[in-house]
Amino acid sequence: MAIVPVTEWPEGASLGDAEVDALHVAHHAQPRQVLGCHRLKSHESNEEGDLFVFRVWHQSLERDWEAEDLEVLLQLEGVSPPVPMRRRCAWLYEAVLRLPADWIPDEDDAAQAPVGGVLRLPRYQVLIPEQDHPLHDAFGYVGFLLAEVEIDQFQSGHFLHVADALGCHCVCAGGVYGLRFATWAPRAVFVSVVGDWNNWDGRACPMAKRFRAGKDGGFCGLWEIFVPFGELSDVPFGQKYGFKIHTLAGTDLVKMDPYAQEMEVPSDLYHSPVFNASVISSCDDSYRAKPFEWSDEAWMQAREERGQVNTALLQPMAIYEVHLSSFRRGANGELMNYRDMAKQLVEHVKALNFNWVELMALAHHPFQGSWGYQVSGYYSCYSLLGSPDDLKYLINQLHEAKIGVIMDFVPAHFCKDACSFGDFDGTATFEYEDPREGEQRQWGTKVFNFRRNEVRSFLLGAALFWADRYHIDGFRCDAVSSMIYRNFGKSEGEWIRNEHGGDSNLEAVSLLRELNNSMKEFWPGVIMIAEESTAWEGVTSLRPASSSLGFDLKWDLGWMNDTLIYLEEPAWNKPSNHDKLTWRATYMQNERYVVPLSHDEVANMKGSMIEKMGKKENLGFYERVRLLCALYGYQASGCGRPLLFMGQEYGQGREWNCYQSLDWHEGEEPVRRGLCVWLSDLMAVYKCHKPLHMGDDQPHQRQFPVGCKSFEWVENNPGACVIAFCRHWKGERPVMTICNFGSQYHHGYTIGSPYWGGWEVLLNSDDGRYGGRGGGPGNSAWIWSGQARPDCSDSLTLDLPACSCLVLLAPEKFQEFKATRPPAGINTTDLSCADVEYGLAEIGF
């Protein structure tokens, strides 16, 4: 090794003024080409070696050490003593040395980079006066952070592990810990990583463009950099960061990281902030030495086994929908952490006998008033309630209690505010460029560009990321209708037809199909649910038809709307609206359903659930509670998985407000407490009796040995506001539900019975246990079939209290005592059934 005096430096060894100026305004096109260690190729080598220039660019070199007669030293690997460097300008020190020709190898071939990338380690450090630790030069680490195969997958739209490649991750290179950053900004001119550790100065960490391998390799839209820090303790976990982007328009933007795994806590809950920074996460399980310790192995294994044999949908699903930040708060109204609320949530859900929760607003959203549906952090949990590990703890506790977890996933649109990733590189990046495609004006959001493969990788990767890192058991995909219809919520002239002249969004359809197929392949047993409000055919179809989407379940919003409209009517007008209760039977075999009473129905000036009961006749409070009991009984015992939003278990009086806790004190009132007990017993019966859930998806399929359908009408009396139906599943004892939605008490009401013998009363909502008046047969009573009716050979005579629901269990030997003339509803011959793919052993083959 020989030091070359400054006077003997060859031309071009010291960085030119134009390059220095570009670095100082963070506008250098290729900083990696001029910074770090480079062989001076213009100078001929000799037997003593080649000339190498070292250019170190760092904030710590702002101070003019030379003016203070202090030296910045270059410490070469295996060479002593260190070499003094020359100050070129603020931030930049240089040195030229003659070293053996093989001191650094030739440039790496990008095509050979392995998955996860490869870095050639620097063979030098920089020693700065008055600093205990050496400076590690970011541009001394030469190589590639992304493999060519990863870029291929990203650009093909099917990079399922994109979360491990893009974003910010802590890695160790040659014993030096640092952060690797990668982002996608295809039309950006320059990109820098900025954050708390570099004072948000865009000059400090300019990112390098990633070009594809080969002679004709072009820019792939990706930018990358490795920022070294030293020891693990030196890595600035918890500090904020973002990307400073210089756009084609000549402006500078600071944007959050779309792939960030943690986000800054929003400063204002009532407004969207101007900027919401990303946070360097210490909870990145793919890269940290000690990932989160889960203890739900038994749950996960059982879930996978059910998925592999296609029996997941045969299990009972009683779903409790929760908005965590308004579920429960501290004594002074303060928010509770994910960990703090875990015990209370688990105990409450178990007490109500729900076995699933649907958690709203898990992904990060800067504006709480959006309820979590204007997402900015698709790879980050909602920071207001804690860290990723805190959320994992909550989910782990739910799994240990045998409670499944569904998350609201929003692939249709995203937050358009400046604090999100809209116009990420200064142009439409993640969204469609034409506002007729790229904006959902009724919600004030941006629409994802489902045509762009990099966006498809982003969305597919996000869902699989949550399934992997957070052990999510199901995804309720929000606003699917707005994805699959180009004219959703738009007037003529505000949307663009597809290439065939139609109104369907073909690229969104293919994305949803790919999402559902990928989830089934990689995470069998995870349930995919569509919130879809139209008559689109094949939402839950498994067949490869052009319209099939491949979801497991669909929200039946038609049932919700029809049922609530009916129950709002005054008693005298209910008979003319009775078809709203029975219409569902004409289509319920077409798809597989969740029957929801969700947050959407108790907010935005719609009133609470209890306010809807008898709304048009101004029913008294007590009668409203009784009618709510009947509604829940009808919901749980019909075809479909019941979903109930929090607070409705005790009939909260006011509508839901996302900014305040539920009114838990109301649940202590005797009448409301009875409603809670009714719901708990109802869900226990729903889970225990197989006919109430195992035949949900084949309501018209005959169940043997008796040959009755999974769902059979027994009574349909509009004038009396009474309906009754019977549920069957193979050889299990059938269950009959009788609902009286009217305000009249029916004494000695006679109803057709499909079986002769004694029927056991499982539940009567008017029982004193539930705050009722004690009308009708009590719980555990027996009702014996009696004389024939004109329309059937056997009948049951009982008192039906007003606004009530009774659930009866068929005689134990029902197979031997089938009515010779069953009720008229039993005689239908329609044998069509849903498109179901279950394990053969479970359906009697």
Q: Which residues are catalytic?
A: 478, 531
The sign of the torsion formed by the CA atoms of 655, 483, 460, 312 equals positive
The whole-angstrom separation of Cα 480 and Cα 333 is 35
Q: How far is CA 44 from CA 4, 39, 51, 52, 171, in A?
A: 14, 11, 8, 12, 38
Residue 294's nearest CA partner among 393, 387, 391, 398 is 393
Strand ranges, E, within 598-689: 641-645
- Tell me the backbone φ, ψ of residue 143, rounded to 5 degrees: 155, -150
User: Contact, 597 vs 644, CB < 8 A?
Assistant: yes
User: Residue 277: how many CB atoms within 10 A of its CB?
Assistant: 23
Give residues with Cβ within 8 angstroms of 353, minimum separation 6: 318, 680, 681, 682, 683, 684, 687
Q: Which residue has the tokens 């246990």?
A: 769
Beta sheet of 176-184, edge-to-edge order: 167-173, 176-184, 219-230, 208-211
Give the strand pairing for 142-144 and 118-120: antiparallel
User: Contact, 133 vs 86, CB < 8 A?
Assistant: no
Q: Which residue has the tokens 């990420």?
A: 424
Q: What is the Cα 544 distance to its own chain's centre? A: 25
User: Contact, 311 vs 838, CB < 8 A?
Assistant: yes
User: Residue 722: how many CB atoms within 10 A of its CB?
Assistant: 21
Across 340-355, b (16+ Cβ under 10 Å) vs e yields bbbeebbebbeebbbb
What's the length of the chain? 845
* Three-state helix/strand/coil letters over 534-556: CCCCCCCCCCCCCCCCCCCEEEC
Give residues with Cβ within 8 angstroms of 454, minimum separation 6: 154, 155, 157, 184, 186, 221
Burial class (CB in 10 A: 0-12, 13-18, 19+), 306: middle
Please compute Rg for the chain using Cα positions. 33
